[in-house]
């Protein structure tokens, strides 16, 4: 599996920010180029769950994560919520894949309805229309009938619905192990190699 991809990664305001931050870390560590987007609500959740301040200015965010994860110059680009000249806004320059992690039910509904009022929604719409991989990682429970209908609509349109539902057959010993289980499944669907845990049916 290739480890040199361009991935659009979006954080929204659902609980589960550790999944998104860990995914960003591993994508950058694997040498991938990442286009990062995040909502205002994601900034609140990041602070609440991780005591992490996501800067409002894109350049400040790039510097923050570049130093935090030792990324190469230009490997990470961060775009504002309405930065319509970003590459992700056009089907003429789509990323190889996009992940929204965590994904709110509001964002999921907007994508299912074809709305593109924010850059995250537009980027997801581009992925669907260009038949590129779109992975949505909802972190909500329970799901209402409306949530399930929207997920089914998106699955039928080609999106991968990958809820943040960790397994326990790998005997997690920490919260990080639980987070890594979900992140490993996302990386698998992106075709990005990792060694987060042994695969089922193999020796530890």
80-91: per-residue pLDDT in tens?
999 999 999 999
Beta partners for residue 97, in sequence order: 7, 133
Query: 15 among the known binding-site residues?
Result: yes
Query: 107 among the known binding-site residues?
Result: yes
Query: 13 among the known binding-site residues?
Result: yes
Q: What is the pLDDT of residue 202?
A: 81
Domains of the chain by start residue, with CATH: 6-190 (3.40.50.1950)
Higher-pLDDT residue of 1, 120: 120
Q: What is the pLDDT of residue 3?
A: 56
Mean pLDDT of the chain: 95
Query: 199 among the known binding-site residues?
Result: no
Query: 159 among the known binding-site residues?
Result: no
Residue 143 has a CB neighbour count (10 Å cut-off) of: 14
Beta partners for residue 35, in sequence order: 8, 77
Predicted confidence (pLDDT) per residue in 8-25, tens digit: 999 999 999 999 999 999
Q: Tell me the three state secondary structure of residue 39.
A: coil
Residue 4: which pLDDT band, with cuts at 50, 70 and 90?
confident
Predicted confidence (pLDDT) per residue in 25-37, tens digit: 999 999 999 999 9
For residue 193 the two structure tokens come to 């190699």
Query: 106 among the known binding-site residues?
Result: yes
Give phi and psi for 134, each to the nearest 5.
-125, 120
Query: 104 among the known binding-site residues?
Result: yes
Judged against a pLDDT cut of 80, whether residue 182 lies above it is answered with yes
Q: What is the pLDDT of residue 118?
A: 95
Query: 169 among the known binding-site residues?
Result: yes
Is residue 102 reached through a cis peptide bond, with omega within 30 degrees of 0 on the bond before it? yes
Query: 139 among the known binding-site residues?
Result: yes
- Listed as own residue / partner, the contacts of 170-175 with beta carbons closer than 8 Å and 24 or more positions apart are 170/197, 170/198, 175/18
Q: What is the pLDDT of residue 1?
A: 45
Q: What is the mean pLDDT of residues 150-179?
A: 96
b/e string for 42-77 if b means 16 or more Cβ within 10 A?
bbebbeeeeeeebeeebeebbebbbeebebeeebbb
Q: What is the mean pLDDT of residues 89-96?
A: 96
Q: What is the mean pLDDT of residues 111-132?
A: 97
Q: What is the pLDDT of residue 103?
A: 98
Question: At 26, which helix (H) or strand (E)?
Answer: helix 17-29
What does pTM read for this prediction?
Answer: 0.96
């Amino acid at each position: 599996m290739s480890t040199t991809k361009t991935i659009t990664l979006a954080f929204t305001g659902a609980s589960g920010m550790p999944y998104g931050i860990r995914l960003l870390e591993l994508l950058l560590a694997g040498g991938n180029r990442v286009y990062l987007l995040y909502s205002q609500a994601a900034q609140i959740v990041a602070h609440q769950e991780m005591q992490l301040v996501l800067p409002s200015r894109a350049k400040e965010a790039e510097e923050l994560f570049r130093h935090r994860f030792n990324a190469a110059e230009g490997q990470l680009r961060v775009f504002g919520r309405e930065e319509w000249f970003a590459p992700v806004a056009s089907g003429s320059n789509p990323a190889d894949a996009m992940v929204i992690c965590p994904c709110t039910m509001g964002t999921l509904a907007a994508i299912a309805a074809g709305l593109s009022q924010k850059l995250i929604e537009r980027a997801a719409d581009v992925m669907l229309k260009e038949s590129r991989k779109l992975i949505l990682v909802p972190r909500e429970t329970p799901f209402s009938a409306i949530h399930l209908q929207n997920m089914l609509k998106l699955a039928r349109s080609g999106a991968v619905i990958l809820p943040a539902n960790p397994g326990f057959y790998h005997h997690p010993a920490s919260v990080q192990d639980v987070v890594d289980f979900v992140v490993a499944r996302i990386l698998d669907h992106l075709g990005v190699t990792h060694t987060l845990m042994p695969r089922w049916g193999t020796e530890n």
